[in-house]
Structure 1
Amino acid sequence: MSTTAADQATQKLPFQGIGALLNNVKGDRWIWLIVILLSVISLLAVYSSTGTLAYKRGQANEFILMKHLFMIVGGLALMYFSHLLDYRYYAGISKLLMVITIPLLLYTLLFGNHVNDASRWISIPGTGLTFQTSDLAKLALITYLARTLSRKQENIKDVKQSFIPIMGSVCVVFILIALANLSTALMLFGVSILLLIIGRISIKQISVVCAAGAILLLGVVFLGPRRTTYISRVHAFMHPETANPDKSFQSDHAKIAIATGGVFGKGPGNSTERNYLPHPYSDFIYATIIEEYGLLGGFALVAIYLFLLYRCIKIVTAAPKAFGALLACGLSFSLTIQAFANMAVAVGLGPVTGVPLPLVSMGGTSILFTSVAFGIILSVSRDIDEPKKVVVGEIREVAA
């Protein structure tokens, strides 16, 4: 039976829609591939490690997986739309983000949801979802610093016009995050210092920022509301033989997971330590991955993040504008430093923190804001690729 032309056109419509969508995908194709690969790894790892969580909640494991899949798809959509927006618009958006971020951080400290003596989340009315304001703060501070450093290059060493606004924004955001989430604050502070170095801030002024950060850090550790937690975690890491077993419980079971995983792992879904680790689907998902996929799986994940950093560095070096280079640099270093901090904690190279593995750990706002960060990096990459296509097209016209 032959089909009519109208039927054939109808059958092609879905494929035409997919083709049109793929044609609109711009930027570094390797980064797109890395994001998709990390998303697949995340689905496998989260599905395997949420059995105990599903049991405690009285839900099916598949329900949690579908919810996580929904967040990943939402993140990919945000990444797609944010990469279509010219990255120059993010300079203006950064000012609005900073105006919103600081009051939100204050509100979170005073009225946020308290979990493990930390107030990091606020509830989104009518959705049942929670929002971690530090995720927004990372994006806001990095975009604001990139904007400020790129626009004040002519008077970058001027204390009143350049240094005080930069130092003030870094220190205010640092202290507001550090009171509830010291690990995130330290990583963001480190990324900020890297941006200051790349943005040609003088060593003397950077030293002042570091000194101010050190004073704030000591104040948070010894006088802050979570001082006992911070001190006990550092003590458990430095002296595990004398530490309280409750404080070293997570790191001990993470080490057991890695040790029993061996070279090739126990196989997907065969982890046993996922039943003991408090957060095998978020903070210690890397230990779960090694237990199931072995050292080969662990090294493969490290290689993926290293390759991501390599592709981002290529974008930074090729960016024609200072703002684009600083923006891509800050966001890429933030993502990779967070990834390696999470993996370092899982293998016992650092004290226990609550830092998720970007695009792999289960989480709501973390996945969404990470996807937006990737989208902005791809927007910078798109700006690099499009002039090349124009030049190639002009060469072909001349040759014709």
Structure 2
Amino acid sequence: MNKILNNTKGDRWIWLIVILLSIISMLAVYSSTGTLAYKQGKSTETILFKHMLMIFAGIALMYISHKIDYRYYAGISKVFMIITIPLLLITLVFGNNVNGASRWLAIPGTGFTFQTSDFAKLALITYLARMLSRKQENIRDVKESFAPIMGAVCLVFVLIMWANMSTALMLFGVSILLLIMGRVSIKQIMITCAVGGCLVVMVALLGPRRHLYMTRIETWRHPEKASVEKKFQGDHAKIAIATGGIFGKGPGNSTERNYLPESYSDEIYAIIVEEYGLIGGVTILGLYLFLLYRCVKIVTKAPKAFGALLAAGLSFSLCIQAFANMAIAVGLGPVTGVPLPLVSMGGTSILFTSVAFGIILSVSRHIDENEELKSAEKTEAAPKIKNKVIVGEIGLA
């Protein structure tokens, strides 16, 4: 154990945030899965044990990925993109259909399913960081730089959006932030936004979930006109938050967990506020804000453009998703299927999130090693400089 701790590098605060979020996740999932356990004919302890295994596996993946030099991910990103496009297409055609959306793909022979959009987010962000860092000399060249970058963004965007609008919009927003950081011209960014807007309109009008999108937006905008069934999830999330008060009802004392759909996933923030009150809700928000702050520090210290863009893209993706989940829970947006990173119960989504954290920590580890090396060089150089000064003084004497 001591050997593992000694080999654990990178930002210590991020490690602490991950551990705290994992502990909160186990408490919240155990409390909110009673109804799910009853439906599946299992005990809540069985579901919790499976969730804990995924968390420990995620931490192990995070440890492994943080030990890999982040510069290797530039080469891996090409392989990721080659795999991502056919994987998203296969998911749309053969994926498991839930509520009219094909988001999950079964892993043959394992019984596991995973959302290919989680892998696509990781692939697109690493690929964009690589392309933007390598094309800096001719970043404004349309044929050499802009066309392949915009093509990758829009292709992945529309393939995800066909079944998962919320995830696609967040990923598109992160991509635009990376384009701004990568010094792409405002004109080219506006073109990308215009193309993205057209794709959104196309999917919203022609996609398989077009009626669901319109219904959710109308329910959010005019809840007084919506039926009880349509606003059921949003209303019970608000009830959970409103009855939590300042200190909450206490761990395991939630009542809305028995009514809220996906109380252990999309609406887990509402359950946390109900049981731990305003203090618990603010604590979760504070942890993600502090995570964003630590990641921004890593971005500003990164010596290479690729490391800075990679850490920025992954951290923005995680934090924007977290803020979106919390905003939806309190009624600031229409209901969507966006989980709370590292807190919501999930399978492979926890693993992909952990890998993203590991890559951020890999960039941080590289920064720390460079600073240690510079400090050591200064320490070794100091006696030599002192000896030269003494010799010079003797010579003058």
- Give the shorter-chain TM-score range: over 0.9
Query: RMSD of aligned C-alpha atoms?
Result: 0.8
Q: What is the match of residue 307 of structure 2?
A: 324
Q: Please show how residues 89-238 of structure 1 align to structure 2 within 5 Å.
A: 89-238=72-221
SS at 1:270's partner residue?
coil
How far does residue 330 in structure 1 lie from its aligned partner after superposition?
0.3
Number of aligned residues: 383
Match of 1:370 among 338, 353, 359: 353
- Structure 1 pair 328–249 and aligned structure 2 pair: CA distance change class (3 A): same
Q: Please show how residues 230-269 of structure 1 align to structure 2 within 5 Å.
A: 230-269=213-252
Match of 2:335 among 352, 357, 366: 352
Distance 2:333 2:217 in 1: 9
How far does residue 119 in structure 1 lie from its aligned partner after superposition?
0.4
Question: What are the superposed Cα offsets for residues 3-28 of structure 1, whole Å, 9 maximum, x if unpaired?
Answer: xxxxxxxxxxxxxxx11101110100
Amino acid at match of 1:357: L
How far does residue 111 in structure 1 lie from its aligned partner after superposition?
0.5
How far does residue 248 in structure 1 lie from its aligned partner after superposition?
0.8
Match of 2:19 among 36, 40, 53: 36
Distance 2:211 2:380 in 1: 69
How far does residue 397 in structure 1 lie from its aligned partner after superposition?
3.9
Q: What is the match of residue 63 of structure 2?
A: 80
How far does residue 125 in structure 1 lie from its aligned partner after superposition?
1.1
Identity of aligned residues (%): 74
SS at 2:137's partner residue?
coil
Match of 1:70 among 37, 47, 53: 53
SS at 2:346's partner residue?
coil
How far does residue 399 in structure 1 lie from its aligned partner after superposition?
5.4
Question: What are the superposed Cα offsets for residues 359-399 of structure 1, whole Å, 9 maximum, x if unpaired?
Answer: 00000111000000000000000110001112223344455
Question: What are the superposed Cα offsets for residues 324-379 of structure 1, whole Å, 9 maximum, x if unpaired?
Answer: 00000000000000000000000000000101000000001110000000000000
Q: What is the match of residue 282 of structure 2?
A: 299
Distance 1:29 1:114 in 2: 41
SS at 1:360's partner residue?
coil
Distance 2:54 2:284 in 1: 21
Q: What is the match of residue 391 of structure 2?
A: none
SS at 1:355's partner residue?
coil
Amino acid at match of 2:6: N
Instruction: With the length of structure 2 as denominator, give the TM-score of the two structures.
Output: 0.95
SS at 1:131's partner residue?
strand
Question: What are the superposed Cα offsets for residues 256-282 of structure 1, whole Å, 9 maximum, x if unpaired?
Answer: 000111111000000000000011100
Question: What are the superposed Cα offsets for residues 37-90 of structure 1, whole Å, 9 maximum, x if unpaired?
Answer: 000000000000001100110001100000000000000000000000000000
How far does residue 246 in structure 1 lie from its aligned partner after superposition?
1.4
Amino acid at match of 2:69: D
SS at 1:154's partner residue?
helix
Structure 2, unaligned stretches of length 5 or more?
384-397
Distance 2:320 2:227 in 1: 29
SS at 1:299's partner residue?
helix
Q: What is the match of residue 310 of structure 1?
A: 293
Question: What are the superposed Cα offsets for residues 164-221 of structure 1, whole Å, 9 maximum, x if unpaired?
Answer: 0011001000100001000000000000000000100000000000000000000111
SS at 1:119's partner residue?
strand
Q: What is the match of residue 60 of structure 1?
A: 43
Instruction: With the length of structure 1 as denominator, give the TM-score of the two structures.
Output: 0.95
Distance 1:391 1:383 in 2: 12
Structure 1, unaligned stretches of length 5 or more?
1-17
Moved over 3 A (4+): 394-400
SS at 2:342's partner residue?
coil
SS at 2:136's partner residue?
coil
Distance 2:217 2:296 in 1: 33
Amino acid at match of 2:316: F
Distance 2:135 2:227 in 1: 51
